[in-house]
């Protein structure tokens, strides 16, 4: 009796549990949930390595370039000119270069030593005269190109010594060069100070502008010596 009652009850329980399962099986699957695509930033490819210009030692060039990039990143310069001095080389070898990063070329080699000196000296003289004629705010602005012209000349002249003398005599040539230039730097302010007391500051600056121009014919006289191999 008990078994006969259990059989219908089991059938009812089986059907009761199967109906929801069948309903779920017949119902359409839920629409797929669109997954959010996260854009992964892709780093740009590194810039190609710069060529080492003018025979500069590669590791020295890399240090100079890294220093310039740090200074530029800090916003302290916008110029593309870099002066590289390789003190690991002896004084008998060429160890100073002025490089234009816009073209990765040595300025003296691209423009020419004589032409560079003539241009910078002429710019120095013109800037001095312009400062005398300009009002004070404009004169303060003109001090910037004046300083660039002055430093441009000195950088090229440092390297020119190695082009004028042989490797065996470069140590003596550089010693003589620095002795004369430092002596002139010591005597010049005194001489021009005396002249300034006598004729005034404006006339003294005009005199300096004229003296600067006297270097141009001297450079033209050295053109043949610079073009020829060093012999002295």
pLDDT on residue 116: 80
Beta bridge partners of 216: none
One digit per residue, the tens of pLDDT, for the chain of length 232 reads 444 444 444 444 444 454 554 444 455 555 655 555 555 555 555 455 566 766 788 888 888 888 888 888 888 877 788 888 887 776 556 777 788 887 777 776 666 777 888 888 899 999 999 999 999 999 999 999 888 888 777 777 777 777 777 778 888 888 998 899 899 989 999 999 999 999 999 999 999 999 999 988 888 787 776 665 555 5
pLDDT on residue 190: 93
Contacts of 155 (CB under 8 A, 6+ apart): 83, 96, 98
Alpha-helix runs per DSSP H in the chain: 2-26, 58-73, 107-111, 113-133, 136-164, 170-199, 201-213, 215-221, 223-227
pLDDT on residue 13: 45
pTM above 0.75, yes or no: no
CB 119 within 8 A of CB 162: no
Q: How many CB atoms lie within 10 A of CB 38?
A: 5
Domain ranges across the chain: 51-111, 113-232
Nearest-5° Cα angle at 163, 157 to 99: 60
CB 37 within 8 A of CB 43: no
Which of 64, 46, 44 lies closest to 54 in space, CA to CA? 64
Largest interatomic CA distance in the chain: 143
Q: Which two tokens stand for residue 45?
A: 């490819």
pLDDT on residue 196: 93
């Amino acid at each position: 009796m008990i078994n006969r009652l259990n059989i219908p009850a089991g059938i009812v329980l089986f059907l009761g549990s199967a109906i929801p399962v069948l309903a779920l099986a017949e119902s359409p699957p839920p629409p797929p949930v669109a997954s959010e695509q996260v854009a992964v930033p892709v780093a740009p490819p590194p810039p190609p390595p710069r060529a080492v210009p003018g025979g500069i030692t590669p590791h020295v060039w890399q240090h100079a370039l890294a220093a310039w990039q740090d200074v530029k990143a800090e916003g302290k310069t916008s110029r593309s000119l870099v002066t590289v001095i390789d003190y690991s080389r002896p004084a008998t070898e060429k160890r100073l270069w002025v490089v234009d990063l816009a073209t990765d070329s040595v300025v003296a080699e691209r423009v020419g030593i004589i032409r560079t000196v003539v241009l910078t000296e002429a710019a120095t003289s013109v800037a001095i005269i312009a400062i005398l004629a300009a009002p004070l705010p404009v004169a303060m602005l003109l001090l910037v190109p004046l300083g660039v012209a002055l430093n441009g000349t000195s950088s090229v002249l440092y390297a020119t010594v190695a082009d004028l003398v042989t490797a065996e005599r470069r140590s003596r040539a550089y010693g003589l060069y620095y002795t004369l230039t430092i002596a002139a730097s010591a005597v010049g302010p005194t001489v021009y100070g005396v002249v300034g007391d006598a004729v005034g500051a404006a006339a003294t600056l005009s005199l300096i502008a004229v003296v600067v121009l006297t270097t141009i014919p001297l450079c033209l006289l050295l053109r043949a010596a610079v073009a020829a191999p060093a012999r002295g």
